[in-house]
Amino acid sequence: MAKRKKKKRAYTYIKLFFALTIVAALAWYFTSLIFKPNFVHYPAFGIDIPVNYKVHGIDVSKHQKNISWEDVKQMNVNNIKISFAFIKATEGYGNVDEQFRRNWLFAKKQAIARGAYHFFIAPKSGKLQAQNFIETVQLQKGDLPPVLDIEQAYGAPIAVLQQHVADWLNAVEKEYGIKPIIYTNVDFYNRYLSGKFDDYPLWVAHYLVKDKPRIQRSWIFWQHNESGHVNGIGPYVDFNVFKGDSAAFELLKIK
């Protein structure tokens, strides 16, 4: 009789163990469905990608050298692909990026949504810098709005910097009939631009955060990494996401 009780007790423990194992497995499975990780590492891109965003893109300049845009277009890893590219066009008064015209043409040929940006020299006239951009960039239907890239003050007083920025934005908006996007990092925006340009669309750079950039105001693009890899591009490249779905992204384009 004692042996039978021991066997019955052991059998009960085994059933309990398997039941708890199944419950734990189911709990893990359903939790993983509900609480998906914000970032997933993709060896092909060489970085962690924020998978909670649907529209991914890059920004490039002469530093990426000769780009094979066909290879960029064809790269697709678990439905993560390059849907847009911001391309450096101009800098200061008379500088045109040496790769701009080539990048601008071939991104279009590969049906990658393209946008052009101007690298701003804060102490210099915003109007003259805007003229450099306008003379260089011909925007077309389906292109993204023009971008002002401002990252450094170069010793300019805040009031002067803000006036020059406003002059550039006003001139470019008047020329193309669309509100430009401001690109900068969180710290620079908070120190130099906050409160003056909050009604402009923002493309913000903020690395080493795992869900969204740490900035109080709204934004539409987030540059989350500067060390990504894309087929067809030799050097490292900046990675970005659009805050919205593909339908919202289409609405952003020039009509």
Domain span at residue 45 reads 39-252
Can you give the pTM of this predicted structure? 0.85
Q: Are 3 and 115 found together in one domain?
A: no
Q: Are 163 and 99 found together in one domain?
A: yes
By C-alpha distance, which of 97, 85, 90, 100 is closest to 142? Answer: 85
Q: Are 5 and 62 found together in one domain?
A: no
Q: Pick the residue with more confidence: 27 or 76? A: 76
Q: Is the pLDDT of residue 113 over 70?
A: yes
Q: Are 11 and 96 found together in one domain?
A: no
Q: Are 127 and 8 found together in one domain?
A: no
CATH of the domain at 145: 3.20.20.80
Query: How far is the C-alpha of 26 from the C-alpha of 12, rounded, in Å?
Result: 21
Q: Are 129 and 31 found together in one domain?
A: no
Number of structural domains (the chain) is 2
Rg from Cα positions in the chain:
25
The residues annotated with a catalytic role in the active site are: 59, 151
Over the stretch 134-145, which tens digit does the pLDDT of each residue have?
A: 999 999 999 999
Over the stretch 82-91, which tens digit does the pLDDT of each residue have?
A: 999 999 999 9
Q: Are 50 and 104 found together in one domain?
A: yes
Q: Are 65 and 27 found together in one domain?
A: no
Tokens of 255: 């009509």
Tokens of 224: 């989350």
Tokens of 222: 């987030």
Query: How far is the C-alpha of 54 from the C-alpha of 226, rounded, in Å?
Result: 19
Over the stretch 207-228, which tens digit does the pLDDT of each residue have?
A: 988 788 999 999 999 999 999 9
Q: Are 161 and 67 found together in one domain?
A: yes
Cβ proximity of 207 and 226 under 8 Å = yes
Question: Which helix (H) or strand (E) element contains residue 22?
Answer: helix 2-34
What is the predicted pLDDT for the residue at 208? 85
Q: Are 28 and 45 found together in one domain?
A: no
pLDDT confidence bin for 35, thresholds 50/70/90: very low
Q: Are 84 and 152 found together in one domain?
A: yes
What is the predicted pLDDT for the residue at 25? 46
Q: Are 20 and 137 found together in one domain?
A: no
